[in-house]
Copies of this chain bind each other. A is one copy, B any other.
Amino acid sequence: MSDELPLLSVRELKALEDASGRPFASVLVVKKLAIKTASNGNPFLVLDLGDRTGSFGCTLFSDGTVFDTVKAAGEGGVLRIEGRVDYYQGRLSPKLLKVTPLSEDELGAPGLIDNLVEVAPEPAAELWAEFQTFIDSITHDELRMTVRGVFEEIGDTFKWTPAAVSMHHAYRHGLLEHTIHMARACKALLPLYREVDADLAMAGILLHDTGKTIEYEGSLATKRSRKGILQGHVVLGYQLARKHGIKSRLDAERLERLEHIVLSHQGEPEWGAAVYAATPEAVFVSMIDNLDAKMGMVQRTLRQANEHDEFSERLMGLNSVLLTKPVSPAK
């Protein structure tokens, strides 16, 4: 077995037929990792390895040579793997022979991350640059400073976080993309709803989901964090807005209205809102959130659509399949 082995994706590994024993190499991320104790008292690892094309599970015992490397990598760790194809209980379950963690440099190689996780289709750098212009568009000084303060604290995480664990914008940069899309919609709609305070609405949109940078953890393998489970992103985002609003000496009334947008943006308490939207800005933001969440599902489904199929699978968020065939061009 040598370095010259071509790197196979998980989808390609699974497509091999009757390949037991065949050597292969792949670069994969540790999607899930649990440490269990066997009845003899020895620890063993149960893990999922995957890339953006799929994943498979395997079990590693403590006397295996790769045990320590995988345990050290942890959830989200990226590994170069060499092994032999094998099947356990009828499912792909390769033997891992050699496992090497990727260095920071290697991780930066062009396209590598893109092969490991689903990424927002618009380039993150451009999205981030556009994001700054939305912050700058807030004319009220303390409000703009409040927003800027939050992103100085969480900006790097914010850029990578998905907008959800499943459902809409559930991929790398998804939160940045969803927030930008809402900001664009906000800017387009503000001239139509003059009773909405433009600065508060824009600030509310930029901050509404920032609690998710704390609620989710792991940039390559996302799960809800302890804080996320115990407090929820609504309260966490409210705390962020409050902290930086006070720091920026934002007047009490605007701070209260800004906090209210964050606390109410989920729409209904059963979806996670702490209170119902009770200001024009809060109603406006929660409606735009709902619109872009649904349209984000539509966009993602169309991107992943197979040209042979007329309809997508059933989408939970829409309670329906989606017609993915484009409209025929006019004659």
Measured CB to CB, the residues of A under 8 A from B are 9, 11-12, 15, 17, 34-39, 43, 87-91, 140, 181, 184-185, 188-189, 191-193, 195, 197, 200, 226-227, 229-232, 234-235, 238, 251, 253-254, 256-257, 259-260, 263, 268-272, 274-280, 283-284, 287-288, 290-291, 294-295, 298-299, 302, 306-311, 318-323, 326-328, 330-331
Contacts and interface: CB of A to CB of B under 8 A. Distances in A.
A126 B246 CA distance: 40
A35 to B, nearest CB: 4
A276 B230 contact: no
15 contacts: A11-B39, A88-B90, A89-B90, A181-B192, A197-B327, A226-B310, A232-B275, A235-B238, A235-B274, A253-B327, A254-B327, A257-B323, A275-B320, A283-B298, A290-B290
Given A230-B278, A280-B298, A288-B291, 19 more contacts: A35-B308, A43-B308, A188-B188, A188-B191, A188-B192, A195-B298, A226-B256, A229-B321, A230-B260, A230-B275, A257-B323, A257-B327, A274-B274, A275-B320, A276-B319, A277-B320, A280-B323, A283-B294, A287-B290
Nearest to A92: B89
Contacts of A277: 318, 320
Contacts of A309: 34
B278 A323 contact: yes
Contacts of A256: 226-227, 230-231
